[in-house]
Structure formats: C-alpha cells, structure tokens
Amino acid sequence: MMEYLAQAIGLPALQAVIDDFIAALRQHPLFAAAMRGVARLDRLRNRLVTFWYAVLDGESYRWPAQAGLPLQPASQQEWRAAQQLFDQAIARHVPQHLALGWQQRLAWLGQTLPLAETVG
C-alpha cells in the first residue's frame, strides 16, 4: 500500500485534498496575505498535485527551480498551522487507512524543512 499510495487514493481525491488545502490557506490568518500574492493559483495547484502524486507513489520529485517554493513556512508555528490544515483536508477526502500514510509522509516532509524556532 505505501509504495503506490497515490494510486490507491486516486487522482480525484488527491485533487480534492489540494483544493481544500489551498482554500483553507486562503482563509487562514497566517497565510491569507501570502496567498493573495500567488499570481497563478492554478499553477500552484497543479504543482502540488504533481508533487504529492509522485511522492505518495514512492517517486522522487524535483520542484522546478524557476518556480521557487511558494509559501514555504519559515517558522515552526507556520509549519504546525499548515500541517494541521493539510491533515484536516486529507481526513475530509481520503479514507482513514489511506489518510494515515499520507499524513505520515507530510510529517516526514516537515522534518526536512529548515524552520526557525517559534519564539514565545
């Protein structure tokens, strides 16, 4: 199951998670201003779908250098907020037995990000 998780989840559900996550980011106080600065939400959506489809199926994915990393959280606080929004989107659209694998990969991703410690 872990090796081909994206295939098990299915592209429509994966797309629904990404759409839900982007909508949540647009409403969240930590991310709303940055989301207004994203010129092409459709491009961001497509890149996120492509990234997660590859990663969930055990493939490597190289984010296009010219694209930059949109909305990369800079602090532990931002990462925790984004992860919570993503976890909730996953839980709303993916059966629990498949959602757990995706949420685990999301947690692993967070461990690789260069984040500043939250102050306070």
Kindly report the CATH number assigned to the domain that includes residue 101. Answer: 1.10.490.10
- Rounded CA gap, 118 and 54, in Å? 31
β-partners of residue 75 are 116
pLDDT at 20: 97
Give domain status of residue 120, yes or no: no
Q: If the chain, 120 residues long, is cut into consecutive pieces of 10 residues, what is the mean pLDDT of each piece?
A: 82 97 94 84 89 88 59 77 95 96 90 66
| Count helices and strands in the chain by DSSP H and E runs | 6, 0
**pTM of full prediction above 0.75:** yes
pLDDT at 7: 95
Q: What is the DSSP letter of 37?
A: T
Backbone angles phi, psi at 73, to 5 degrees: -60, 140
- Rounded CA gap, 69 and 109, in Å? 14
Q: Which domain range does residue 107 map to?
A: 5-112
pLDDT at 120: 47
pLDDT at 1: 43
3-state secondary structure of 116: strand
User: How many distinct structural domains can be found in the chain?
Assistant: 1
